[in-house]
């Protein structure tokens, strides 16, 4: 079992934002610290804001889902980055998201890369939102990258 400040079961995402526990060789797998922190952040990015019922969960999720159906131009990509940045203050282990990149790839998926400065060190988390899950995304131009450093 891993040691660390925070621990979690390793999970896989499916159907957009549902998680299932990863089983390896008939056993569950544990993760800790930076990996567990990214899994929590990714879970929040992949959950539409406010869809989880429960006391204290009203603000869980990411408003990036509010942008679905809008053309992915430069301004909208910056807004998507802003919605992802809003998550950083929810985690006391995060010092700063130093860079966020939202990269659309046609109608296949949106790739999200977040450079995280945390109490566990610096790392880059990568996530994907598949378009077959949220097929109302459209693009106007070839895939482009909008990124801003801090």
Please report the domains of the chain, with CATH numbers, ordered by start residue. 7-149 (3.10.450.40)
CA dist., res. 115 & res. 105, Å (int): 20
Q: Name beta bridge partners: 121.
A: 118
Place 114 in a pLDDT band, splitting at 50, 70 and 90: very high
- The mean predicted confidence, pLDDT, of the chain is 74
| 37-74 residue pLDDT tens | 998 899 899 888 888 888 888 889 999 888 876 777 78
Place 34 in a pLDDT band, splitting at 50, 70 and 90: confident
First-residue to last-residue Cα distance in the chain? 36
- Per-residue model confidence (pLDDT) at position 96: 96
CA dist., res. 31 & res. 2, Å (int): 6
Place 138 in a pLDDT band, splitting at 50, 70 and 90: very low
CA dist., res. 23 & res. 38, Å (int): 19
* Whether the predicted pLDDT of 113 surpasses 90: yes
Mean pLDDT of 4-26: 54
- Output 107 or 64, whichever has higher pLDDT: 64
Other Cβ atoms closer than 10 A to 141: 10
Predicted structure pTM score? 0.70
Q: What angle do CA 8, 25, 2 make, to 5 degrees?
A: 30
- Output 126 or 134, whichever has higher pLDDT: 126
């Amino acid at each position: 079992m891993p040691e660390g400040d925070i621990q979690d079961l390793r999970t896989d995402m499916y159907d957009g934002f549902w998680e299932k526990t990863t089983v390896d060789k008939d056993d569950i797998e544990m993760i800790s610290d930076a990996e567990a922190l990214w899994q929590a952040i990714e879970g929040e990015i992949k959950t539409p804001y406010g869809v989880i019922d429960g006391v204290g969960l009203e603000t869980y999720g990411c408003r990036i889902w509010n942008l679905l159906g809008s053309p992915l131009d430069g301004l909208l990509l910056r807004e998507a980055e802003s919605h992802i940045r809003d998550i950083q203050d929810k985690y006391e282990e995060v010092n700063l998201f130093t860079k966020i990149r939202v990269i659309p790839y046609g109608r296949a998926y949106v790739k999200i890369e977040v450079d995280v400065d945390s109490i566990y060190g610096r790392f880059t988390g990568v996530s994907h939102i598949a378009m077959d899950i949220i097929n109302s995304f459209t693009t106007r131009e070839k895939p482009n990258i909008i990124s801003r450093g801090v």
